[in-house]
Structure 1
Amino acid sequence: MSRFERYLTVWVALCIVVGIGLGHALPGVFQVIGAAEIAKVNLPVAVLIWLMIVPMLVKIDFAALGEVAAHWRGIGVTLFVNWAVKPFSMALLGWLFIGWLFRPWLPADQIEGYIAGLIILAAAPCTAMVFVWSNLTRGEPHFTLSQVALNDTIMVVAFAPIVAFLLGLSAITVPWNTLVLSVVLYIVVPVIVAQVVRRRLLASGGAAALGRFLGVVQPLSLLSLLATLVLLFGFQGEQIIAQPLVIALLAVPILIQVYFNAGLAYLLNRIAGEQHCVAGPSALIGASNFFELAVAAAIALFGFESGAALATVVGVLIEVPVMLSVVKIVNASKDWYEAAPAVRRAAAAIKEPRHG
């Protein structure tokens, strides 16, 4: 890990402060940047996410994607946490904290909206940003790509019914244009671009050329992450200063949700004997959110000024710093994870020579 990566939490804290300060001092500038969007997908943020994930996607060798089947335990755990646990646990946490414990300090007419926003946020698993978190844990890139693709496929059919069930609605308005555009922008196009770059590098200079390219663009990826953070907090700078208590209270169930789901996925992978390079991305995918879809769905259902929209925005604001803390926990606990009997047995089985 480079010195820059080692102090990433410091840079993140500075970017949060800078973003809030700039958003408050220059609201007009951030309103213009925030308005540069198509189907609720902000184009400047999309460009930054491209710069973040393309270097990671260049590492992926599509010929090796077939090996992902060996990580079926990790796939099963991630799907279980994403779709059978996460939305329902958030509904419970939302009712407990927002609907009961924090009710006296929140606007009474927005309580139901806040809970709805939290549920919408939890029902949309993360896509593009997961590549960043996976890379920081030295995660298995093929597993990460295949799991993200699988989640996107499931989301098309499962997002609306789960949200409708938990919100007690007969049907919900799914912002299909946001969903489709986000998947195309953040997954399909970057994968194609990355594979074209990879093939040209390997054809012109082999593995050495690929290594040099990655050495150059890797810092750009982290700088783009920090720039994204400045923008996200800048967009909401005035909101944060105007309603600090509401935002802090909404952040509590989201924080608990992130750590609970990440910890659950991590422990289940350890019990199942999955490799650490899969357990890390599995925990991160299980905990993070597809915030573009969540914000768009909340606005479509409840309006731009609703409590539901604000709750999803709070999820956006804490996504990066919280996920970086999960990355740190995953990395710091690697020795403990690999000391599990099930993990040791699985590792020994992989190393055993095959006869016959």
Structure 2
Amino acid sequence: MGVFERYLSVWVGLAIIAGILAGLAIPGAFAVIASWEYAHVNIAVGLLIWLMIYPMMVQVDFGSIRDVGRNPRGLVLTLVINWLIKPFTMALLGWLFFRVIFVDWVDPQTAGEYIAGMILLGVAPCTAMVFVWSQLTKGDANYTLVQVSINDVIMIFAFAPIAGLLLGISDIHVPWDTLLLSVVLYVLVPLLAGVWTRHRLDRADDHSRLNAFLARMKPWSILGLLATVVLLFGFQAETILARPLAIVLIAIPLLIQTYGIFAITYVMALKLQLPHNVAAPACLIGTSNFFELAVAVAISLFGLHSGAALATVVGVLVEVPVMLSLVWFANRTRDRFNKAAA
């Protein structure tokens, strides 16, 4: 494991601090970057997210889907959690906290935007960081690849309808054209580009060209991640410092969702008697979010300085330390899974 993976929380933490400081020091520069928009899509954020996502999409091997028959239970668990449970529990928690529990602390319009940001996080299952979490738990790399590949295919068709349904139920206006455009830009295009690149480089008997390409792209993907974090927290710097209570209010349901979904998936994995190298990535895939997609769509739908964008940025703030705590727990309980699978 490289230096980046070992100290992931440190780099992201430093990027968050750098973004806030830069946003306060040179707000004019961030205002100019925020104005670079086309069709409600911020060009700078879009380019950085493509830089992040594209190398991950190259790793997706649709040929590996045929191997799913060797242990379909792990895949079924991932799909049930990601598409039948997680989006709806996130929407429910958003409504419960911002329409009921926190109703006296947040105005209705802002509350609706916070709920929208949470919904977008809940409908976007993790793609890029999954490989890091899987590696940290010594997961089955090939099986993780299968889970990610099938999730990405489903995301093309399911993200917009489920997001639109839950946003509509929450009385939030759904600009369908922007939502569909976001799916094309941030899921379909990088996925097709990744498939085309893999087809050109990969050979059945020789993966050296593909591996060399991925090694060259990895630093750029890392740079894209850190630059995106700096940019997002730079955009929200004044809001974060002016409204620290808002950060806490958003973080509470996100933490409950994250630990709650992990607990549900963990218990189900034990009941299904999955081996640890399949169960751990399944639990972490279901728990974490494709925050790059959620952030990009929130910005496209509601704007850079909206409550929805802030909610997705808080998702970034919460995710890394929480996921590392769950990685620790999954590794500490490795024997439980291996005994159950024996």
The TM-score, its normalising length taken from structure 1, stands at 0.77
* Letter in structure 1 aligned against 2:155: N
Corresponding residue of 2:191: 187
Residues in 1 aligned to 2:21 and 2:209: alpha-carbon distance in whole angstroms: 41
The answer to whether 1:149 aligns with 2:148 is: no
Instruction: Name the count of aligned residue pairs.
Output: 330
The answer to whether 1:314 aligns with 2:316 is: no
Q: How does 1:1-356 map to 2 (within 5 A)?
A: 1-104=1-104, 106-110=105-109, 112-114=111-113, 116-118=115-117, 120-122=119-121, 124-126=123-125, 130-138=127-135, 139=141, 140-165=144-169, 167=170, 172-174=174-176, 175-199=179-203, 206-287=206-287, 288-289=289-290, 290-292=293-295, 294-295=297-298, 299=302, 309-319=306-316, 322-323=319-320, 325-327=322-324, 329-330=326-327, 333-334=330-331, 336-337=333-334, 339-340=336-337, 344-345=341-342
Q: Would you say the 8 A contact 1:19–1:231 is kept in 2?
A: yes
Of 16-25 and 288-297, more deviation after overlay is shown by 288-297
Give the CA deviation at 1:10. Answer: 1.3
Residues in 1 aligned to 2:324 and 2:156: alpha-carbon distance in whole angstroms: 22
Unaligned runs of 5+ in 2: 136-140
Residues in 2 aligned to 1:44 and 1:113: alpha-carbon distance in whole angstroms: 26
Flag the 1:195–1:327 CA change in 2: closer, same or farther, 3 A: farther
Residues in 2 aligned to 1:314 and 1:184: alpha-carbon distance in whole angstroms: 24
Flag the 1:184–1:84 CA change in 2: closer, same or farther, 3 A: closer
Give the CA deviation at 1:343. Answer: 5.1
Task: Provide Cα deviations, 1:52-101, integer angstroms capped at 9, x if missing partner.
Answer: 34444444444333113444323322332233322332344234433344
Give the CA deviation at 1:323. Answer: 3.9
Residues in 1 aligned to 2:198 and 2:181: alpha-carbon distance in whole angstroms: 24
Structure 2 counterpart SS, 1:339 = helix
* Letter in structure 2 aligned against 1:117: A
Residues in 2 aligned to 1:183 and 1:197: alpha-carbon distance in whole angstroms: 21
Corresponding residue of 1:349: none
Residues in 2 aligned to 1:14 and 1:224: alpha-carbon distance in whole angstroms: 14
The TM-score, its normalising length taken from structure 2, stands at 0.80
Flag the 1:155–1:178 CA change in 2: closer, same or farther, 3 A: same
Residues in 2 aligned to 1:236 and 1:101: alpha-carbon distance in whole angstroms: 25
Q: Would you say the 8 A contact 1:143–1:278 is kept in 2?
A: no
Residues in 2 aligned to 1:43 and 1:278: alpha-carbon distance in whole angstroms: 38
Q: Would you say the 8 A contact 2:251–2:314 is kept in 1?
A: no
Flag the 1:87–1:34 CA change in 2: closer, same or farther, 3 A: same
Flag the 1:285–1:332 CA change in 2: closer, same or farther, 3 A: closer
Give the CA deviation at 1:124. Answer: 2.3
Of 116-125 and 230-239, more deviation after overlay is shown by 116-125
Task: Provide Cα deviations, 1:214-259, integer angstroms capped at 9, x if missing partner.
Answer: 4444344333322221111112112212222222212211222122
4+ residue segments displaced more than 6 Å: none
Q: Would you say the 8 A contact 2:60–2:195 is kept in 1?
A: no
Flag the 1:267–1:208 CA change in 2: closer, same or farther, 3 A: same
Residues in 2 aligned to 1:215 and 1:49: alpha-carbon distance in whole angstroms: 19
Task: Provide Cα deviations, 1:119-172, integer angstroms capped at 9, x if missing partner.
Answer: 53355223xx6223334423422321212211332234433233323x257x84
* Letter in structure 2 aligned against 1:340: F
